[in-house]
Chains A and B, each alone.
Chain A
Amino acid sequence: MALLERLEARLSRRALLVAGAAVGGGLYVGWIPAGNAAQPESGQSFAPNAFVRIDRSGKVTVISPMIEMGQGTYTSLPMLVAEDLDVEMKNVSVDHSPPDDKLYGNAHVGGAQITGNSSSIRAFYLPMRQAGAAAREMLISAAAAKLGIDAARLTTQAGTVIDSASGKRIEYGALVDDAAKLPVPEKVRLKDPSNFRIIGTPAKRLDIAGKVDGTAMFGIDAKIPGMKIATVAASPVFGGKLASYDERAALAVPYVRQIARLDDAVAVIADHYWAARQGLEAAKPRFDDGANANLTTADVVAALAKAAAEPGAVAKNEGDVPAALLAAPTKREAVYENPFLAHCTMEPMNCTAHVTPDGCEIWVGTQIPTVAQMAVAKALGIDQAKVQIHNHLLGGGFGRRLEFDFIVQAVLIAKQCEHPVKVVWSREEDIQHDMYRPYYYDRISAGLDDSGKIVAWNHRIVGSSIMARFSPAAMKDGVDPDAVDGAIELPYALPNYRVEYRREEPPGIPTAFWRGVGPTRNAFVIESFIDELAAAANKDPMQFRLEHTEGTPRAHHVLERVKKMSGWGLPLKPRTGRGVALLFAFETYMAHVAEVSVADDGEVRIDRVFVAVDTGIAVNPDTIVAQMESGVIFGITAALWGEITIEKGRVQQSNFDDYRMLRINETPRIEVEIVQSSEKPGGIGEPGTSAVIPAVFNAIHAATGVRLRRMAITPERLKV
Chain B
Amino acid sequence: MKNYRIGIAGAAIVLAAGAAVSLGEQNAPLGLKPVSAFAHIADQNARAVALFNEAGKVIQHPRCVNCHPAGDRPAQGDDSRPHQPLVVRGPDGLGAVAMRCTSCHGPANFDPGNVPGNPRWHVAPIEMAWIGKSLGEICVQIKDEKRNGGKTLDEIVHHMAKDELVGWAWNPGGKRTPAPGTQEVFGELIKAWADSGAACPASKATP
Chain A residues proximal to chain B, CB less than 8 Å: 272-274, 277-278, 655, 657, 660, 663, 665
A516 vs B13: C-alpha distance when bound (angstroms): 45
Q: A663 to B10: give the CA distance in the assembly, Å.
A: 30
Q: What 16 additional pairs, Cβ within 8 angstroms, besides A657-B114, A665-B85?
A: A272-B3, A273-B3, A274-B3, A274-B6, A274-B7, A274-B10, A277-B112, A278-B10, A655-B113, A655-B114, A657-B84, A660-B84, A663-B84, A663-B85, A663-B86, A665-B86
For residues 1 through 55 of chain B, which have their beta carbon under 8 Å from a beta carbon of chain A? 3, 6-7, 10
Chain A residues near B7 (CB, 8 Å)?
274
Between A and B, 9 residue pairs with Cβ closer than 8 Å are A273-B3, A274-B6, A274-B10, A277-B112, A278-B10, A655-B113, A655-B114, A657-B84, A663-B84
Binary contact track B98-139/A, C-beta < 8 Å → 1, others 0? 000000000000001110000000000000000000000000
Q: Collect the chain A residues with CB atoms within 8 Å of residue B10's CB.
A: 274, 278
**Residue with the highest number of chain A CB atoms closer than 10 Å, among B3, B6, B85:** B85
A278 and B7 alpha carbons, distance in the complex (Å):
10
Q: Which residues of B contact A665 (CB under 8 A)?
A: 85-86
Closest to A277 in B: B112
A277 to B7, CA, bound (A): 11
In the A-B complex, the 6 residue pairs with the smallest Cβ-Cβ separation, listed nearest first, are A665-B86, A663-B85, A274-B3, A274-B6, A274-B7, A657-B114
Closest chain B residue to A428, Cβ basis: B112
Least Cβ distance of A299 to chain B in Å? 26
Cβ of B198 to closest chain A Cβ, rounded Å:
36
Interface of B is mostly: helix
Nearest-neighbour CB distance to chain A for B22, whole angstroms, equals 14
Min Cβ gap B26→A in Å is 17
- Chain B 66-94, CB-CB to A under 8 Å as 1, else 0, gives 00000000000000000011100000000
Taking CB atoms, residues of chain B closer than 8 Å to A277 are 112
Minimal beta-carbon separation of A654 from chain B (angstroms): 9
Contacts of B86 in A (CB 8 A): 663, 665
CA distance A277 to B3 in the complex (A): 12
| Cβ distance B174 to chain A, nearest Cβ, rounded Å | 10
Nearest-neighbor residue (CB-CB) of A663 within chain B? B85
How far apart are the CA atoms of A274 and B193 in the complex, in Å? 48
Q: Which residues of B contact A655 (CB under 8 A)?
A: 113-114
How distant is the Cα of A634 from the Cα of B6 in the complex, in angstroms?
34
A392 vs B114: C-alpha distance in the bound complex, in angstroms?
Answer: 32
A56 to B70, CA, bound (A): 69
* Chain A residues within 8 Å of B3, by CB: 272-274
- What residues of chain B lie closer than 8 Å to A278, measured between beta carbons? 10
Task: Choose among A272, A278, A655, A663 the residue with the greatest number of B CB atoms under 10 Å from its CB.
Answer: A278
Complex Cα–Cα for A272 and B86 (A):
32
Q: Please give me the residue from chain A that is nearest to B85 by CB atom.
A: A663
Q: Which A residues are CB-close (under 8 A) to B84?
A: 657, 660, 663
Contact residues in B for A273 (Cβ distance below 8 Å): 3
**Distance of A655 Cα from B86 Cα, bound (Å):** 17
The complex places the Cα of A704 from the Cα of B22 at a distance, in Å, of 42
A272 to B6, CA, bound (A): 11
Q: How far is the CA of A277 from the CA of B10 in the complex (A)?
A: 11
Question: How distant is B193 from chain A, measured CB to nearest CB, in Å?
Answer: 35
- How close is A666's CB to chain B, nearest CB, in angstroms? 8
- Inside 8 A of A274's CB, which chain B residues have their CB? 3, 6-7, 10
- Measured between beta carbons, the chain A residues less than 8 angstroms from B114 are 655, 657
CA distance in complex: A660, B77 (Å): 15
A564 to chain B, nearest CB (A): 33
How far, in whole Å, are A274 and B110 apart by their CA atoms in the complex?
A: 13
A274 to B84 CA separation, bound complex (whole angstroms): 26
In the complex, A453→B7 CA distance in Å?
A: 64
Q: What's the nearest-Cβ distance from chain A to residue B132, in Å? A: 14
A272, A274, A660, A663 interface centre (most CB from chain B within 10 Å): A274
Q: Which residue of A lies closest to B112 (CB)?
A: A277
Chain B residues near A272: list those with CB within 8 A: 3
Q: Bound state CA distance, A665 and B112, in angstroms?
A: 26
Nearest neighbor of B82 in chain A, beta-carbon distance: A603
CB distance from A427 to the nearest CB of B (A): 9
**CA of A657 to CA of B6, assembled, Å:** 23
**How far, in whole Å, are A273 and B85 apart by their CA atoms in the complex?**
26
For the complex formed, measure the closest distance between the CB of B25 and the CB atoms of chain A, giving whole angstroms: 14
A665 to B114, CA, bound (A): 23
User: In the complex, what's the smallest C-beta–C-beta distance from A214 to chain B, in angstroms?
Assistant: 15
CB distance from A271 to the nearest CB of B (A): 12
Q: How far is B86's CA from A278's CA once the two chains are assembled, in angstroms?
A: 31
Cα-based distance from A62 to B114 in the complex (angstroms): 45
Write the nearest CB–CB distance from B67 to chain A, whole angstroms. 17
Q: Within the complex, what minimum Cβ distance (angstroms) separates B116 from chain A?
A: 12
**What CA separation (Å) do A663 and B99 show in the bound complex?**
14
B113 to chain A: which residues have CB within 8 Å?
655
Instruction: With both chains docked as a complex, state the minimum distance between the C-beta of A79 and any C-beta of chain B, in angstroms.
Output: 37
User: With a CB–CB cut-off of 8 A, which chain A residues contact B112?
Assistant: 277
Residues of A within 8 A of B85 (CB): 663, 665
Taken together as a complex, chains A and B put the C-alpha atoms of A278 and B111 apart, in Å, by 12
CB distance from A606 to the nearest CB of B (A): 15
Closest to B10 in A: A278
Complex: how many Å from CA A660 to CA B85?
A: 10
Question: How far is B175's CA from A657's CA once the two chains are assembled, in angstroms?
Answer: 12
Give the residue name and chain of the A residue nearest to B174 (CB).
A657
Give min CB distance, A416 to chain B, whole Å. 26
Bound: A648/B114 CA distance, A: 22
Q: Provide the residues of chain B in CB contact with A663, threshold 8 Å.
A: 84-86
In the complex the two chains form, what is the Cα distance from A277 to B110 in whole Å? 14
How far apart are A406's CB and chain B's nearest CB, in angstroms?
21
Q: How far is the CA of A700 from the CA of B37 in the complex (A)?
A: 53
Give bound CA distance, A510 to B3, whole Å. Answer: 34
B195 to chain A, nearest CB (A): 42
In whole angstroms, what is the CA distance A278 to B13 when docked?
A: 12
A273 to B86, CA, bound (A): 30
**What is the CA–CA distance of A272 and B113 in the complex, to the nearest angstrom?**
18
Q: Which residues of chain A come closer than 8 Å to B6, judged between CB atoms? A: 274
Expressed in whole angstroms, the Cα–Cα distance for A352 and B114 within the complex equals 28
Complex Cα gap A665–B83 (Å): 13
